[in-house]
Structure 1
């Protein structure tokens, strides 16, 4: 069996050297899970998206694999895949597409502006709940921090819009910039707790602008440069806390700490799924 073409895009940036790289396979219908896993490991990005076919009502069936395992959903690979389809005329440049993913059907709007093609996905129905105190202490210990470093206005939570993300917000910019961690220890905690994606550590730079670092040790990666699913979860987190007046739009800056800066725009409606949008461009 021949290996289908593997495209490489970066999402949430208009520059190939920014944002979060993703592999994209648009013709993965003949691949089984082991083949997809092998390709994702070879690509060695945080995730690779595989379009495996279409459902009876026209949604594209999509699966996501990190270099080590299948993941339920990946926001930046979703944006990259939608843009790749639009560039090839398989989705109108000002149209819409639906992805049938392991967490449910996700709607994506595609548009074009002066900076290129932009995609916006709307998450499944979010859930937000308390973060267990033991889990919080474990996270803080890994970062060399204490509860005194937390922003008292934005308490820790577990937020889910397809993937479960622990969310921890720090009060001080320098503390946010300077914390370090052992990637192996973070990976062990994620695996032990069954958290399939990232730990979100954030800082409130302004009422409508946040900075985020998403810890996701996998292969050569330690921090994810731009995390769409975490951005959606963070929007749900802000709404659940009443930290923004909904409907609201906030911007999340991410990736500066790993040399791949990007921006994620998060639309937070009064109810329902959270919409995350950004550009994607091909990596030569």
Structure 2
């Protein structure tokens, strides 16, 4: 019987030894029920664990059905666990294209080997953005002990979707971005109320096409996510929809340095369609 001891453990998007975002992976969860998957995810304790619940969809063994669980609940989509799972499948079955059937729709992942390292690029579902509901932005800023005048006016606050809904806040000053704090319980309650199944994505521009990001994700003992593929896709969508980049283009996002797990995500923003996020993943010894 599959349990947490037989699950694979990979880290995705690492930018240095000890970096990246760890994910659990169960390559065959076809016999597991919801409660069993939830229990395994809780025991592993990573931000998310991916479960392949169907090994071959419509007779195609490169098309699998995947579900994602945090330690507390099922989540619709998880970028770093998608990258990690695709790399694990490439290690087992060889590099190439995979399609993950997820609760938000099919996600295509291309894996390739270069210099002995496997990379994975996933293309998000069709993205969109929306304004904050009345009073919600003020509530979020209050939880971060900050205010609207401390955000960069070039980048208006929005909620962006590319598989999960991520509120996006871009700070004007590095010091404010580096130093904000929050109450995890209060933040978790607001995120649950608003259906923000991804992270609260905070950003500081560090170059013409470079951004540093902190992603709030208070689940269990975790409060901040070290590398968030779905947030990277959502931020790419945010930039395109608001006309803040000339698509097609590429940006680079660093993340995780505030919690000692440096990570790097490469984001391709096409003129139309899903956003492409690329990274590496390696087994955790």
Tell me if TM exceeds 0.5: yes
| Residue 13 in structure 1 maps to residue 14 in structure 2 | yes
Query: Which position in structure 2 is the counterpart of 1:130?
Result: 131
Aligned in 2, Cα 1:16/1:52: closer, same or farther, shift over 3 Å? farther
Contact 1:14–1:280, Cα closer than 8 Å, also in 2: no
Say yes or no: does 1:81 pair with 2:82: no
Which segment drifts farther, 13-22 or 60-69? 13-22
Residues 210 and 133 of structure 1: is their aligned pair in 2 closer, same or farther, counting only changes over 3 Å? farther
Deviation readout 1:200-258 (Å, 9 max, x if unpaired): 01111112000111100001100000000000000000001111111010000000011
User: Residue 197 of structure 2 corresponds to which residue in structure 1?
Assistant: 196
Question: Counterpart of 1:227?
Answer: 228
1:135-175 deviation per Cα after TM superposition (whole angstroms, max 9, x unaligned): 11111101110111010000001100111000011011111
Tell me which residue corresponds to 2:68. 64
Shift of 1:2: 4.9
Deviates more, 1:248-257 or 1:184-193: 184-193
Q: What is the TM-score normalised by the length of structure 1?
A: 0.96
Structure 1 gaps, min length 5: none
Q: Is the 8 A contact 1:232 1:275 kept in 2?
A: yes
Quote the RMSD (CA, aligned, Å). Answer: 1.2
SS of 1:238 mapped into structure 2: helix
Aligned residues: 281
- Once the 2 structures are TM-superposed, how far is the Cα of residue 114 of structure 1 from its aligned partner? 2.3
Provide the rounded CA distance (Å) in 2 between the counterparts of 1:14 and 1:169. Answer: 22
Q: Give the structure 2 partner of residue 164 of structure 1.
A: 165
2:16–2:263 CA contact under 8 A, matched in 1: no
Q: Which residue of 2 aligns with 1:3?
A: 3
Q: Secondary structure at the match of 2:238?
A: helix
Deviation at residue 184 of structure 1 after TM alignment: 1.1
Spell out, residue by residue over 1:83-129, the C-alpha distance to the aligned partner (whole angstroms, 9 max, x if none).
011112x2x32x11100011110000001122611000000000111
Q: Using the alignment, how far apart are the partners of 1:191 and 1:115 within structure 2?
A: 41
SS of residue in 1 equivalent to 2:113: strand
Residue 207 (structure 2) aligns with: 206
Q: Which residue of structure 1 aligns with residue 155 of structure 2?
A: 154
For residue 135 of structure 2, give the secondary structure of its aligned residue in structure 1: helix
1:197 CA drift (Å) = 1.6
Cα deviation for residue 132 of structure 1 reads 2.6
Q: TM-score under structure 2 normalisation?
A: 0.96
Quote the Cα distance in structure 2 between the aligned partners of 1:229 and 1:263.
Answer: 13
Partner of 1:187: 188
Check 1:143–1:56 CA distance in 2 against 1; reply closer, same or farther (3 A cut). same
Q: 1:185 offset after TM fit, Å?
A: 1.1
Q: Deviations over 1:30-78 (max 9, x none)?
A: 1011100000000000000001112105211000000000000000000
Q: Does 1:255 align with 2:262?
A: no
Check the 8 A contact 2:16/2:262 in 1, yes or no: no
Which aligned segments of 4 or more residues in structure 1 are displaced greater than 3 angstroms? Answer: 1-4
